[in-house]
Structure 1
């Protein structure tokens, strides 16, 4: 059996990556406390889990109709979509546009002018150039919202450094660029992040969807909270709920997760571009999972426990063990190491034995299981806080989508952590952040029309 092939010493060393149920419940308790801090006016400024107000108070109800635009900006490419909503009918077309590196590091004016030009070209291509359309804007950078159509950029991430945008309203930046052109009529109805878009997209199909989750390059969650628990919101009379963007990637920035962090976590953090920040995200997300595995493999190789003590240049190079390798290695059936062998050959480790391959897979399993259990602890904490009889969790992101066991690991763990009598299910979002942006615009228009 593969288990017997794994060196006992490696199995022992990997125990630091395994969290007990007692530890997981302690994490849930600490997150619950941090969520309350983020929601409370008196403690919000010092809270690590910010619980930003999204100003979205209504989910889709299926009565949304018409044509809507969506803009999805969150990396080196952005997407423009046009969505046509009818009764039981959903038609969507989209196009991806590149952002040249010169624009990513240039001025904010140049960035928004480029986006506005692509929007105008897209409208021409889809024969809506002369129509006035509502647009939902997904903006997946740290944002402090002051209203449904007002969002102040806190800081750039993902290689962007456009000048004149941090501390400014990004919706106004886009509006100004559209006005400078003067050739298209676009009403920006809402700004949101990818987590919110995921929830809205899933809620259109499933009205029980009350949580949105991203487990991809980064990790974040949003959920539906009762207005009475949202100190920072001056609510619309008659509304009882509000969507909260937790920004839970920062959970642990104050040391709350130190009791389950390992030497590998500390090394990943210390060598990152933002040491001490986004601590939970660095234990969960696709940007870091492969590197956590690599650091463990390096340690075991240097100790003579793996590969006969003979590593390779690639193994010893930061960032060269990709997170996709974790999914590929764990896709092999028990006793089969085909994918593992291919990955190790790619890394210059063709001398690996079957025992080495079993150990590599064990390390991958420990890192990904811990990530799934951390996410599960967070989702269970949200479900218990909401205390609804049935909750669907809308999920997007490459880790959840492509890892062969992530869904099952989450389903099994959440079931043990939520209160008796609550039922839940996990729903993969299709095209979440883009479609969700259009749906936020559609809901805003529905409200104006009183539907």
Structure 2
């Protein structure tokens, strides 16, 4: 346990402009020469909004699995219709099991949705095949829309073997033949789902169990090995959470951050994620309390994120004490309140600085002067954590000034909708 004062987390807030500028420089370098970050996708454009069709969609994240059948309605509504959907929490034991075991369970969930779809009274004829789009919230190497090789996963998953994602999914027997035509990651799906409704959206941002971002990158900013075969730009999966983004934040890491990183499954692998994402915010709070945390939260990751958020919503220590173990005195509760708020504020500030740096690097800030910069987002931290979205917006506004207005658009069911949108783009040749 490493006691850390709340003031140590607020240093980032006072240096946000410097951090944002440093992120822009960092991203420029990573886009050019990193093999693990700014991973190019086979996508060179955003959706037109005219794509139509009915698709099977899957979204596998760090915590949940979503499977759905989705209809793209196209013009003029640019809307989507979720016909069937199933959401399941990923059982903890699969995170330590083999990839085959995990995807066998995923296959069972897919069959549940397909069977429900067939039983739907609106389905008059069994489809001969279901075209499928997949959102996979972990690093992949992609050579085509339908081929993706798994890279080390993080987020509590321990299996390391590189495997072809489509092969794992298609090893299961389904009640309707399935063809995987599109694979992407969560941040790409977030951007595509928002851009289907808001043409010109600039980025897709994830802030939940983990964090990530996607944007269009000019081909001229990519090294020869990353150059697209066609098009003047390419959608890149930044994988900004991992170690290449350490330089802009390294001097702001506290003793609690260093202790958490050293005790993680892969020390040094994802320092930015450990300072931003929901999986780690609660652990930073726990560690920062030091010996004051008490026996109730002695075990790593035993402090629920919901507790931190609920305490942040309180203005009086007596109110906050209701969410904490009985017997905590005013001093201890007040300290917990201050640390919890400081940790989440730092997270929002760093998320905003990274977002700004990304948009500065790819030219979106300059292009948006005098107008709006639309940023698609998803994730439980931005959605549910007390005051987080407001802090993120305020930090972005501070960085962008008066010339550009940041407009945050939630990607409703972005993982599954984005997978369906990409499948529609592939079918209509608009990628």
TM-score normalized by structure 2?
0.86
1:57 maps onto 2:44 in alignment? yes
Aligned-residue offset at 1:314:
1.3
What is the match of residue 352 of structure 1?
329
Task: For residues 73-93 of structure 1, give each alpha carbon's deviation from its aligned partner in whole angstroms, at most 9, with x where no partner exists.
Answer: 234652211001224242102
Pick aligned residue for 2:228 from 231, 235, 249: 235
Partner of 2:115: 124
Taking a change above 3 Å as real, the CA distance of residues 420 and 384 of structure 1, as seen in their structure-2 partners, is farther
CA contact (8 A) 1:384 1:419 kept: no
In the alignment, the residues of structure 2 paired with residue 329 and residue 253 of structure 1 have an alpha-carbon distance, to the nearest angstrom, of 31
**Structure 1's 221 and 100: CA in aligned 2 closer, same or farther, altered over 3 A?**
closer
1:156–1:166 Cα contact (<8 Å) kept: no
Count of residues paired in the alignment: 412
| Post-superposition CA distance 1:232-289 (Å, at most 9, x none) | 444354x333211111111566555221111111111122222112101111111111
The alpha-carbon distance between structure 1 residues 79 and 279, as it changes in their structure 2 partners (threshold 3 A), is same
Taking the TM superposition and a 5 Å limit, the aligned residue runs for 1:8-407 are 13-19=5-11, 23-40=15-32, 43-45=33-35, 50-75=37-62, 77-86=64-73, 87=75, 88=77, 89-92=79-82, 93-96=84-87, 107-127=98-118, 129-161=126-158, 166-175=161-170, 177=171, 181=173, 184-231=176-223, 232-237=225-230, 239-251=231-243, 256-298=248-290, 301=292, 312-332=294-314, 334-335=315-316, 337-338=318-319, 340-344=320-324, 347=325, 349-353=326-330, 355-385=331-361, 386=363, 387-389=366-368, 390-407=372-389
**1:133 Cα offset (Å):** 2.5
Q: 1:13 to 1:143 in 2, by over 3 A?
A: same
Query: 2 CA distance for matches of 1:108 and 1:247?
Result: 21
Instruction: Tell me whether 1:426 sits opposite 2:408 in the alignment.
Output: yes
Unaligned runs of 5+ in 2: none
Unpaired runs of 5+ in structure 1?
1-9, 302-310
CA deviation vs aligned residue, 1:106-165 (integer Å, no higher than 9, x gap) = 554454454445434432321275332221111122212222222111124345456xx8
Q: CA deviation at 1:330?
A: 1.5
* Contact in 1 for aligned 2:212/2:241 (Cα 8 Å): yes
CA contact (8 A) 1:137 1:191 kept: yes
User: Which sits farther off after the overlay, 410-419 or 210-219?
Assistant: 410-419
Q: Deviations over 1:290-319 (max 9, x none)?
A: 1211222225x3xxxxxxxxx631143332
Residues 23 and 245, structure 2, Cα contact 8 Å, conserved in 1: no
User: What CA distance in whole angstroms lies between the structure 1 residues aligned with 2:238 and 2:226?
Assistant: 15
Matched-pair contact (CA < 8 Å) for 1:224–1:241: yes
Which one is further off, 315-324 or 104-113? Answer: 104-113
Compared with structure 1, are the counterparts of its residues 185 and 225 closer, same or farther at alpha carbon in structure 2 (3 Å cutoff)?
same
**How large is the RMSD of aligned CA atoms in angstroms?**
2.8
Larger Rg, first or second structure (1 or 2): 1
After superposition, the Cα gap between the structure-2 partners of 1:209 and 1:123, relative to the gap in structure 1 and judged at 3 Å, is same
Higher relative contact order (CA 8 A, sep 6+): 2
Q: Tell me the secondary structure at the aligned position of residue 126 of structure 1.
A: helix
| TM-score (normalised: structure 1) | 0.82
